[in-house]
Structure 1
Amino acid sequence: MKNITYVITLFILFSCSDQKNKILGKYEYIGNQTIDSIIIEDSIYTHMIFNKDGKLMYKGNSQWQFEGNRIIFLNFYNNEDYNLTEFLTEEQANKFLIRLSCPININNKGAIIEVNSHENIVYQKNN
């Protein structure tokens, strides 16, 4: 019985690790006003928002977690294609930072993070 429990535990750990590795990478959402980029690394993510001219308007870093089929961003600035007219510092954004939990779909075409699917705000992984 101990061997079965051990094998099941190893299977769960390796399958979770494999899913987590598939999440790592760069994601983009291209809106009407902004280009939003999230770079997901091992335990942190970097979030950058550019205006349509390619000028950096926001950059923030924080941690993320993976639970089930959801990714959880801690201290996320959810811009949702709002046209920033000047650079937003982390200190300025601090009062707007949220804990954001989103479904993440991984398939043979790549990965998609659905931040607000009703508004078609999804981040596509760049392979």
Structure 2
Amino acid sequence: MKQIIFSFLSIFMISSCTLNKKELVGKYSLNGKQINDSLILTNDKYIHKIFDKNYKLMYIGSNKWTLDNDRITLFGFYSNENNLIDEPLSDEDVKKFLMITSFPVYKQNNEMILEVNADENIFYRKLLDND
């Protein structure tokens, strides 16, 4: 009986720590030294916008995303990683740089965090509601 109770509690604790897609939906920001980057997640699609420091739109792209085991996967993603953009990028400019990318997602304090590159301090952050 103890084994059954322990198994049930273990499964409950593991499943309660796993994020779901609905929790991830919303607007994420990455405010870097060179650019301001936003990632908007809807139910099945993301919209990625990069602005220069004067908030001039330098890039916009979109594609689908998935969530599995607290990792988000973005398809056709342009990873700029806070590099300076001198002029707006066209679809042709970024076509050869689009990739499938995956990174961890977690809650920390009052934020949902997409950890793109921890070594370079590249994190998209979304404030969570105080329900």
| TM-score calculated relative to the size of structure 1 | 0.83
**Structure 1 contact 77–98 (Cα < 8 Å) conserved:** yes
Cα deviation 1:67-102 (Å, max 9, x = unaligned): 111000000000011111110012221110011101
Q: Per the alignment, do residues 35 and 110 of structure 1 end up closer, same or farther by CA in structure 2, a change over 3 Å counting?
A: same
1:71 partner amino acid: I
1:81 partner amino acid: N
What is the match of residue 56 of structure 2? Answer: 55
| 1:126 CA displacement | 3.7
> Among the aligned pairs, what percent are the same residue?
41
1:83-94 equivalences in 2 (<5 Å) = 83-94=84-95
**Structure 2 contact 26–40 (Cα < 8 Å) conserved:** yes
2: distance between equivalents of 1:38 and 1:30? 11
1: distance between equivalents of 2:127 and 2:51? 17
| 1:117 CA displacement | 0.6
What is the match of residue 5 of structure 1? Answer: none
Report runs of 4+ in structure 1 exceeding 6 Å deviation: none
SS in 2 for 1:82: coil
Give the CA RMSD over aligned residues: 2.1
SS in 1 for 2:81: coil
How many residues get paired?
A: 115
2: distance between equivalents of 1:33 and 1:108? 26
2: distance between equivalents of 1:91 and 1:126? 33
> Which runs of 5 or more residues in structure 2 are unaligned?
1-11
SS in 1 for 2:94: helix
1:58 partner amino acid: Y
> Which runs of 5 or more residues in structure 1 are unaligned?
1-10
1: distance between equivalents of 2:78 and 2:47? 11
**Structure 2 contact 114–124 (Cα < 8 Å) conserved:** yes
1:1-127 equivalences in 2 (<5 Å) = 19-107=20-108, 109-127=110-128
| TM-score calculated relative to the size of structure 2 | 0.81
**Structure 1 contact 28–126 (Cα < 8 Å) conserved:** no
1: distance between equivalents of 2:28 and 2:127? 6
Higher relative contact order (CA 8 A, sep 6+): 1
**Structure 2 contact 58–89 (Cα < 8 Å) conserved:** yes
- Which of structures 1 and 2 has the bigger CA Rg? 2
